[in-house]
């Protein structure tokens, strides 16, 4: 009986497997640059920046994009606070409006390791030390506080302190600082109800499946004013984080752009642009009573 | 009754060597037989060794291909971080308890409802046509609709009706949605089992004077259930995974608590932990399904080799 030379078969299989799994060509130089970034010269210009597509800035956000951060789920129209901030940052870096490309990236894809399909992502990402292990953040462009909202006549309507809320069923969106604040600051007796999106949370609130939900304050004002029938802001929560909860633009870990984008945001803060944009898009974020 | 007379004595089978003293055991196997046995042993050894070697080579190749890739350190830190895994385990395990509760309650309800639907679909008689039609429509509807959409419709739609006494707990609503969908699948499995029972069985039962109901209960269903047990266990394994979807209604189960932790740390290890827990849950079910199938095969073939 003739036998197949087994070692040969194995070797062939191994060679095949290895060639099939050969590492793909790195489009950029393998990220050996430290956290400093590429522009050692300090030049943050479109010619110098190592962007995804040369000469254009690719900005990502999630789909759908919510008001008041974006208007009409169309980030490219420049309306809404975050869209306006994104265009201001692009301008600061020297990109015209036509050089900005928007792309839609879901939450998990934005935080995955490896190459990402954007230069930076603007989607109300709160900056935390823990998250910094996995991604880069620009310097903060907005300081946010969290608020509790409900509908008129619910059990949470008229609550004036955290103690009034502890015994109720409270909800929030998964993977948000709203949820963290809900569990740490309010520390309710029942397990919080955790939703995929704020839309689901709103629906559950209208159905009476939860007594109140926690969202960030600008969203709270928008939802209660425009989306909920007889929505009520119960009050805002004092920040539990150090130095408040701050939104930053999200970049890939050790991205060569982090430095320049941070500097652009800092420049916008110093020359008052950020404050102006806040005034323009988030002006109705007046004072809500603080729950303690 | 008269005893039948044997015409011919049957040949007596015995292991006793003719001519030898009675009660002597088998003779020692011949040289040829011994050599055959040794050859079989050596073949078995050789194939075991070859299997070991090829497995080892495959493992080494796979390991090298993964760990030599440029992105591996980042992937390792993001998906396989032991410290993050340990940290996330307690919460995820607590969430898994919710999944288990849904699984047990839902599984039992699915069996009952599924059997009921299957019984409706196999009713005989022209007067019962509407029942058959309704059962068929139910199966078509819920087998075709994605579970996640049923979950949304049941979980957010029912409470929106504002009826008194409609439960608002995500646990109850999620279980209801899962029962609706899986009952349709299981009803089809049962129906296949019922229809696989040979018509002669039914005819025989009816000719003995059993009613339709008695025929189903005493003759058809016991045989049908035995036929479909492996398929049912297969659906049970699928159900084990799908209970993870109730998190969309806000219940904090294993999947959701993993998601919460991923959102806090931007590290994906909790997903891997939750996935492994579900696999651990599915392994006993898979072994049970194998054992049941093997037992059924042994019974049916009772000793034949193939």
Nearest of B98, B274, B80 to residue B172 by alpha carbon = B98
| Highest mean predicted confidence (pLDDT) among A120-134, B30-44, B257-271 | B30-44
Q: What average pLDDT does this structure show over A160-178? A: 89
CA distances from A158 to A72, A204, A230 (A): 32, 19, 13
> pLDDT grade, residue A140 (50/70/90)?
very high
- For residue A25, the model assigns a pLDDT of 45
For A248, half-sphere exposure in the C-beta direction (CA atoms, 13 angstrom radius) is: 24
DSSP A226: I
Q: Please check the confidence at residue A163 and state whether its pLDDT lies above 80.
A: yes
The residue of chain B nearest to residue A210, with distances taken between CA atoms, is B168
Q: How far apart are CA A291 and CA A237, in angstroms?
A: 6
Instruction: Report yes or no: A237 and A214 within 8 Å, Cβ to Cβ.
Output: yes
Q: Please check the confidence at residue B159 and state whether its pLDDT lies above 60.
A: yes
Omega prior to B82 cis, within 30 of 0: no
Phi, psi of B290 (to 5 degrees): -60, -45
Nearest of A246, A269, A264 to residue A142 by alpha carbon = A246
Residues of chain B neighbouring A241 (CB-CB closer than 8 A)? none
- For residue A36, the model assigns a pLDDT of 42
- A135-137 and A250-252 strand pairing: antiparallel
Instruction: Report yes or no: A147 and A220 within 8 Å, Cβ to Cβ.
Output: yes
> Among 3.30.565.10, 3.30.2290.10, 3.30.470.20, 3.40.190.10, what is the CATH number of A146-237?
3.40.190.10
- Cα-Cα-Cα-Cα dihedral sign, residues B207, B209, B211, B214: negative
Query: How many CB atoms neighbour CB A199 within 10 A?
Result: 15
Instruction: Report yes or no: A119 and A251 within 8 Å, Cβ to Cβ.
Output: yes
Token code pair at residue A94? 């020297």
Token code pair at residue A14? 């191994």
- Cα-Cα-Cα-Cα dihedral sign, residues A161, A162, A168, A173: positive
Q: What's the whole-number average pLDDT of chain A? A: 81
Burial class of residue B183, CB neighbours in 10 A (0-12, 13-18, 19+): buried
Q: Which of residues 69-98 of B touch A (CB under 8 A)?
A: 69-71, 74-75, 77-79
Residues of chain B neighbouring A179 (CB-CB closer than 8 A)? 260, 263
CA distances from A23 to A32, B64, B69, B172 (A): 17, 12, 6, 48
Hey, are the CB atoms on B78 and A14 less than 8 Å from each other? Answer: no
Instruction: Report yes or no: A284 and A221 within 8 Å, Cβ to Cβ.
Output: yes
Query: How many CB atoms neighbour CB B125 within 10 A?
Result: 9
Q: Which of A180, A194, A195 sits opposite B264 (nearest CB)?
A: A180
> pLDDT grade, residue A184 (50/70/90)?
confident
pTM of the model: 0.75
Residues of chain A neighbouring B266 (CB-CB closer than 8 A)? 111, 130-131, 133-135
Q: Which of B57, B74, B251 sits opposite A114 (nearest CB)?
A: B74
Omega prior to A68 cis, within 30 of 0: yes
Kindly state whether A172 is in contact with chain B, defined as any CB-CB distance less than 8 angstroms: no
Hey, are the CB atoms on B260 and A207 less than 8 Å from each other? Answer: no
Domain locations in chain A as residue ranges: 46-143+243-282, 146-237
- For residue A34, the model assigns a pLDDT of 40
Q: Which residue has the higher pLDDT, B305 or B66?
A: B66
Element (H, E) at A7: helix A6-20
DSSP B157: I
Instruction: Report yes or no: B187 and B244 within 8 Å, Cβ to Cβ.
Output: no
> pLDDT grade, residue A40 (50/70/90)?
very low
- For residue A33, the model assigns a pLDDT of 39
For domain A46-143+243-282, say whether CATH 2.60.120.620 is its number.
no
Q: How far apart are CA B42 and CA A89, in angstroms?
A: 74
| Highest mean predicted confidence (pLDDT) among A21-30, A260-269, A276-285 | A260-269
Q: How far apart are CA B188 and CA B144, in angstroms?
A: 13
Q: What's the whole-number average pLDDT of chain B? A: 86
- For residue A190, the model assigns a pLDDT of 86
Q: How far apart are CA A44 and CA A47, in angstroms?
A: 8
Phi, psi of B266 (to 5 degrees): 55, 30
Q: Please check the confidence at residue A282 and state whether its pLDDT lies above 60.
A: yes
- For residue A47, the model assigns a pLDDT of 81
- For residue B138, the model assigns a pLDDT of 94
Token code pair at residue B145? 């609709």
Nearest of A34, A239, A288 to residue A136 by alpha carbon = A34
Give me the torsion for CA of B158, B159, B164, B167, rounded to 10°.
90
- For residue B24, the model assigns a pLDDT of 62
Residue from B247, B263, B271, B272 whose CB has the most chain A CBs within 10 Å, to mutate: B263
The residue of chain B nearest to residue A18, with distances taken between CA atoms, is B65
For residue range B210-266, what is the model confidence (pLDDT) as tens digits? 998 899 999 999 999 888 888 898 899 889 889 989 888 888 889 989 988 888 888
Kindly state whether A30 is in contact with chain B, defined as any CB-CB distance less than 8 angstroms: yes
Q: How far apart are CA A183 and CA B263, in angstroms?
A: 14
Q: How far apart are CA B123 and CA B232, in angstroms?
A: 22
- A170-173 and A142-144 strand pairing: unpaired
Q: How far apart are CA B107 and CA B105, in angstroms?
A: 6
Interior angle at CA B258, CA B272 and CA A82, nearest 5: 115
Q: How far apart are CA A262 and CA B3, in angstroms?
A: 106
For residue range B263-302, what is the model confidence (pLDDT) as tens digits? 888 888 999 999 999 999 888 888 888 888 888 778 777 6
For residue range B6-23, what is the model confidence (pLDDT) as tens digits? 555 555 555 555 554 555
Which value, in Å, is the radius of gyration of the alpha carbons in chain A? Answer: 23
Q: How far is B57 from chain A (nearest CA, A)?
A: 7
CA distances from B2 to A54, B5, B10 (A): 104, 9, 20
3-state DSSP assignment of residue A61: strand
- Fold match flag (A46-143+243-282 vs A146-237): yes
Nearest of A275, A278, A280, A265 to residue A88 by alpha carbon = A265
Q: How far apart are CA A6 and CA A23, in angstroms?
A: 28
Hey, are the CB atoms on B266 and A208 less than 8 Å from each other? Answer: no
3-state DSSP assignment of residue B233: helix
Q: What average pLDDT does this structure show over B68-85? A: 86
Residue from A9, A134, A183, A254 whose CB has the most chain B CBs within 10 Å, to mutate: A134
- For residue A7, the model assigns a pLDDT of 55
Instruction: Report yes or no: B258 and B273 within 8 Å, Cβ to Cβ.
Output: yes
Burial class of residue A131, CB neighbours in 10 A (0-12, 13-18, 19+): buried
Query: How many CB atoms neighbour CB B90 within 10 A?
Result: 10
């Amino acid at each position: 009986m003739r036998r197949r030379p087994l070692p040969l078969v194995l070797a062939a299989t191994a060679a095949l497997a290895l060639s099939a799994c050969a590492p793909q060509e790195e489009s950029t130089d393998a990220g050996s640059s430290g956290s400093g970034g590429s522009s050692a010269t300090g030049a943050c210009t479109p010619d110098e920046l190592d962007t995804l597509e040369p000469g254009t800035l690719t900005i990502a956000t999630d789909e759908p994009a919510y008001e008041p951060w974006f208007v009409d789920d169309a980030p490219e129209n420049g309306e809404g606070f975050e869209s306006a901030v994104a265009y201001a940052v692009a301008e600061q870096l020297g990109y015209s409006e036509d050089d900005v490309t928007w792309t839609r990236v879901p939450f998990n894809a934005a935080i995955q390791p490896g190459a990402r399909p954007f230069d930076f992502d603007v989607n109300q990402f709160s900056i935390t030390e823990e998250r910094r292990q996995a991604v880069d953040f620009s310097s903060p462009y907005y300081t946010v506080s969290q608020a509790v909202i409900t509908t008129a006549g619910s059990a949470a309507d008229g609550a004036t302190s955290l103690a009034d809320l502890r015994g109720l069923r409270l909800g929030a969106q998964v993977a948000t600082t709203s949820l963290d604040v809900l569990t740490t600051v309010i520390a309710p007796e029942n397990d919080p109800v955790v939703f995929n999106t704020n839309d689901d949370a709103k629906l559950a609130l209208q159905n009476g499946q939860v007594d109140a939900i926690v969202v960030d304050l600008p969203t709270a004002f928008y939802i209660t004013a425009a989306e909920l029938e007889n929505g009520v802001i119960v009050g805002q929560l004092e920040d539990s984080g150090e130095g408040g909860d701050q939104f930053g633009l999200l970049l890939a870990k050790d991205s060569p752009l982090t430095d320049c984008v941070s500097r652009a945001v800092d420049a916008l803060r110093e020359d008052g642009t950020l404050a102006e944009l806040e005034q323009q898009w988030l002006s109705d974020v007046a004072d809500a009573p603080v729950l303690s | 009754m008269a005893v039948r007379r044997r015409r011919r004595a049957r040949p007596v089978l015995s292991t006793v060597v003719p001519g030898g003293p009675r009660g002597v055991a088998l003779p020692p196997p011949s040289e040829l037989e011994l050599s055959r046995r040794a050859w079989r042993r050596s073949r078995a050894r050789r194939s075991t060794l070859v299997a070991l070697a090829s497995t080892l080579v495959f493992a080494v190749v796979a390991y090298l291909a993964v760990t030599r890739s440029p992105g591996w350190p980042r992937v390792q830190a993001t998906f396989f971080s032991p410290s993050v895994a340990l940290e996330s385990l307690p919460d995820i395990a607590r969430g898994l308890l919710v999944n288990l509760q849904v699984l047990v309650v839902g599984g039992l309800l699915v069996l009952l409802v599924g059997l009921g639907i299957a019984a409706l679909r196999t009713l005989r008689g022209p007067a019962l046509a509407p029942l058959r039609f309704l059962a068929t429509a139910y199966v078509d509807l819920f087998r075709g609709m994605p579970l996640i959409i049923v979950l949304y419709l049941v979980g957010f739609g029912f409470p929106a009706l504002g009826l008194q006494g409609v439960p608002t707990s995500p646990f109850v609503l999620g279980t209801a949605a899962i029962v609706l969908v899986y009952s349709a699948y299981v009803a089809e499995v049962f129906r296949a089992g019922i229809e696989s029972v040979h018509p002669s069985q039914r005819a025989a039962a009816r000719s003995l004077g059993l009613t339709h109901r008695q025929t189903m209960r005493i003759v058809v269903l016991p045989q049908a259930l035995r036929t479909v047990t492996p398929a049912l266990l297969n659906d049970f394994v699928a159900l084990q995974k799908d209970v993870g979807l109730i998190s969309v209604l806000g219940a904090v189960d294993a999947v959701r608590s993993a998601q919460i932790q991923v959102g806090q740390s931007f590290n994906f290890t909790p997903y891997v932990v939750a996935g492994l827990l579900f696999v651990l849950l599915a392994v006993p079910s898979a072994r049970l399904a194998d054992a049941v199938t093997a037992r059924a095969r042994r019974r049916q073939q009772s000793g034949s080799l193939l």
